[in-house]
């Protein structure tokens, strides 16, 4: 049997249309949520076997949610701004009573007794959750090859990775299995797969979206964000999950921003006077030529729409990778301690003479190689006698990065870089040497360390015909500006 090699949808030209279209139609009674869902399930039925975007498809629950939305409309009740939009959820977001695995053997079968804040907000806004998507185990990776349940394939070319760690969510949207999706981004895990799968992905300002119910990888870097076909859909989704949550102490205590309006403004009026800085350190060495060519195209579109463009050096970006690979594993080593076989998830007690051995056996059997590597790295970085040289030093670098970006934002409103140094790579290309894999996140990691927002927006294809995204970065809470500028780049596609 020869498998198809391509399963991508283009929403602008046919059914089911953008998420904004779906919600508008469903709210107005022009289409039913059940019909919209059926279209997406038809695509899942046809192509999920090739793509493997999901760890779990919520067939029954999604059907019930869609029916509830339709019943509300029939009763004259507005189901909410995301009415009937099929949404995919990264499988590190807790869903009450529904298996949440983080694509790890150690959590296989675990059903959380509660739902993440974002999951609750989606349901309250009328969205329909279609499934839990595959990821690199505990969100550690850049290709989804680190999933314990097998990799996800890039819908544009099934021999290529979708990126990661939110590869399942990116692929689900690109393949038309869901209209929009949620991912989490610790070092690029939304933006890089969005770029590789040819869709929009955004990492919001740290604290804009509640992390309550997101299974932690690196708490000071993790942030939930949207995947969508269009910038407007990403804005719509972000608008509905953002906003203060008393259950997350790091959540920003401010009302959610108005983002869809900013996208429409950008599309209609361009970006007159917007100061755009091309980051020198991330727009030359290490980036493939086709990626740089598309970066130039994006810059031209912004310039044409009224932006002034200059170059800026942000020297500390060179230190980001090193700092990230100390801070993230250090926090991970602590966050992942709780998977010890005592309370939930996997327990391997066979051959264990005491509780310590049971814990060790469980963790040895339950975690994959990359997770173990990062736990060891982080444990080492926090150890007595090494803390100052590693974790302490990395935190100082982080402060440096924040200050560097602050300086850059005195001159520029937004910065622009490629999202990924290359287009999607083939399976196995970078698994032999972890460091080559880590390098794929060189452009995305800085905004996680700085806590600032960044968006990846598609801007054509490379020499191999695979999608290329460009990344816009801005200071804290500049989501509206970034989305407006992204809309300009998108408009040229």
Catalytic residues: 90, 165, 189
Nearest approach in angstroms of CB 211 to other proteins is 6
Are 430 and 478 in contact by the 8 Å Cβ rule? The answer is no
Nearest to 216 by CA among 94, 393, 387: 94
Main-chain phi, psi angles of 193, to 5 degrees:
-65, -30
Residue placing its CB nearer to other proteins in the complex, 112 or 225: 112
Strand order in the sheet with 467-473: 54-57, 128-133, 86-90, 180-185, 223-228, 200-203, 454-461, 467-473, 414-418, 275-279, 308-312
Are 158 and 212 in contact by the 8 Å Cβ rule? The answer is no
Question: Tokens 């981004």, residue?
Answer: 185
Nearest approach in angstroms of CB 301 to other proteins is 38
Query: Interface residues with other proteins (CB under 8 A)?
Result: 92-94, 100, 102, 107, 110, 112-114, 116, 211-216, 218-220, 246-250, 330-331, 333-334, 337-338, 340, 342-344, 354-356, 359, 379, 382-384, 387, 391
Residue placing its CB nearer to other proteins in the complex, 66 or 215: 215
Nearest approach in angstroms of CB 382 to other proteins is 4
How would you class 308 by CB atoms within 10 Å of its CB: exposed for 0-12, middle for 13-18, buried for 19 or more?
A: middle
Nearest approach in angstroms of CB 480 to other proteins is 25
Residue placing its CB nearer to other proteins in the complex, 302 or 382: 382
Nearest approach in angstroms of CB 219 to other proteins is 4
Residue placing its CB nearer to other proteins in the complex, 176 or 183: 183
Residues 6+ apart with CB under 8 A from 242: 204, 208, 209, 256, 257
Which helix (H) or strand (E) segment holds residue 460: the answer is strand 454-461
Q: Distance between CA atoms of 404 and 412, rounded to whole angstroms?
A: 12
Pairing of strands 454-461, 467-473: antiparallel
Q: Distance between CA atoms of 327 and 451, rounded to whole angstroms?
A: 13
Residue placing its CB nearer to other proteins in the complex, 212 or 425: 212
């Amino acid at each position: 049997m020869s498998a198809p090699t391509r399963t991508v949808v283009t929403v602008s030209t046919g059914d089911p249309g953008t998420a904004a279209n779906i919600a508008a139609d469903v709210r107005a009674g022009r289409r039913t949520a059940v019909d919209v869902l059926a279209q997406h399930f038809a695509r899942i039925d046809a192509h999920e076997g090739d793509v493997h975007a999901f760890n779990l498809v919520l067939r029954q629950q999604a059907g019930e949610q869609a029916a509830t939305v339709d019943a509300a409309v029939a009763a004259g009740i507005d189901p909410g701004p995301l009415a009937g939009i099929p949404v995919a959820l990264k499988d590190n977001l807790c869903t009450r009573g529904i298996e949440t695995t983080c694509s790890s053997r150690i959590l296989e079968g675990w059903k959380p007794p509660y739902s993440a804040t974002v999951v609750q907000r989606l349901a309250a806004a009328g969205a329909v959750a279609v499934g839990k998507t595959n990821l690199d185990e505990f969100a550690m990776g850049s290709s989804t090859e680190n999933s314990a349940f097998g990799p996800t394939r890039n819908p544009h070319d099934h021999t290529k990775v979708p990126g990661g760690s939110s590869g399942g969510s990116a692929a689900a949207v690109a393949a038309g299995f869901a209209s929009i999706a949620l991912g989490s981004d610790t070092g690029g895990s939304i933006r890089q797969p969005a770029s590789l799968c040819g869709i929009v992905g955004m990492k919001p300002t740290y604290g804009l979206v509640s992390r309550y119910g997101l299974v932690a990888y690196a708490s000071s870097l993790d942030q939930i964000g949207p995947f969508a076909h269009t910038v407007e859909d990403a804005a719509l989704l972000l608008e509905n999950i953002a906003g203060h949550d008393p259950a997350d102490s790091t959540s920003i205590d401010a009302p959610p921003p108005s983002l869809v309006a900013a996208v429409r403004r950008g599309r209609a009026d361009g970006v007159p006077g917007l100061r755009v800085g091309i980051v020198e350190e991330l727009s030359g060495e290490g980036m493939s030529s086709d990626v740089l060519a598309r970066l130039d195209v994006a810059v031209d579109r912004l310039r044409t729409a009224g932006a002034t463009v200059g170059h800026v050096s942000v020297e500390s970006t060179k230190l980001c990778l090193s700092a990230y690979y100390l801070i993230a594993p250090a926090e991970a080593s602590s966050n992942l301690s709780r998977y010890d076989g005592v309370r939930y998830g996997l327990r391997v007690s066979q051959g264990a003479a005491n509780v310590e051995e049971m814990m060790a056996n469980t963790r040895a059997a339950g975690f994959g190689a990359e997770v173990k590597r990062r736990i060891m790295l982080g444990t080492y970085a926090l150890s007595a006698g090494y803390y100052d040289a590693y974790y302490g030093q990395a935190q100082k670098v982080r402060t440096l990065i924040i200050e560097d970006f602050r300086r850059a934002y005195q001159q520029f409103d937004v910065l622009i870089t490629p999202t990924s140094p290359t287009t999607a790579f083939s399976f196995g290309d970078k698994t032999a040497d972890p460091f080559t894999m880590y390098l794929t996140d060189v452009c995305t990691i800085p905004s996680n360390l700085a806590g600032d927002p960044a968006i990846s927006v598609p801007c054509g294809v490379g020499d191999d015909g695979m999608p290329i995204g460009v990344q816009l970065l801005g200071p804290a809470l500049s989501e509206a500006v970034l989305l407006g500028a992204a809309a300009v780049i998108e408009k040229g596609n």
